[in-house]
Amino acid sequence: MYMASHSAKRAIRRTQGERRDATRAQLIDAARALFVAKSYAETGTPEIVAAAGVTRGALYHHFMDKMDLFRAVCACEAKAVGQAIDNATKDASDTRQALALGSVAYFDAMGVPGRASLLLLEAPAILGHNEATELVSEVGRTQLRNGLAQALPEAGDAGVDAMADILSAAFDRTALAIAFGGDRAAYINAMLNLVERSIADQSGRRSA
């Protein structure tokens, strides 16, 4: 009897945990859809809880406020992009191929409707530059920095950090251009050429 009762309690706890996770996911999904459709500023918490089909108390059980919920939305978006890049590059034969595959995967992942605006426009405006930069470090920036460090072992930490920062800005600008109707193929080809030439130029200078 004790074992059966103990197992039942564990099952209840798992079910409660699953319900909590489901409620959190519903809030994040509903908030994302509204933030994309209306913007963060124009979205109210009553709309979010109504769209999620939960109570206002449930929202504040999981998140401190609307900004905290927005932060969670962006974290989920950033994680999805980082995972897409990892999946695309895990079987790469060398660093340069990994950088090329990762670049295309980044643009594919950022092409999800609303994602570029959320991460690259709304997040810095709402969370501030420093927090937004830290939050989106999973959006290819860590992988890019690691790839550059492997491709340019003699550049040193400062040189790699500077190049990663500059190229990250170019990646972000390209993702936004594509999101707002730019020629996807042309922008991606230009970005791939920029990455390749940057590596070649740095390698050439150091071997000269």
Q: What is the pLDDT of residues 188-208, one digit of tens each?
A: 999 999 999 988 866 545 544
Q: What SS3 state is found at 87? A: helix
Rounded-to-integer distance, Cα 177 and Cα 195, Å: 17
Q: What was the pLDDT predicted at 16?
A: 76
Which two structure tokens, joined as six digits, stand for 168?
């990250």
Q: What was the pLDDT predicted at 186?
A: 98
CATH number at residue 19: 1.10.10.60
In terms of domains, do 83 and 42 share one? no
Number of domains, the chain: 2
Does 46 reside within a domain? yes
In terms of domains, do 39 and 127 share one? no
145-175: pLDDT as tens digits: 888 998 888 888 898 999 999 999 999 999 9
In terms of domains, do 14 and 99 share one? no
28-87: pLDDT as tens digits: 999 999 999 999 999 999 999 999 999 999 999 999 999 999 999 999 999 999 999 999
In terms of domains, do 182 and 88 share one? yes
Does 69 reside within a domain? no
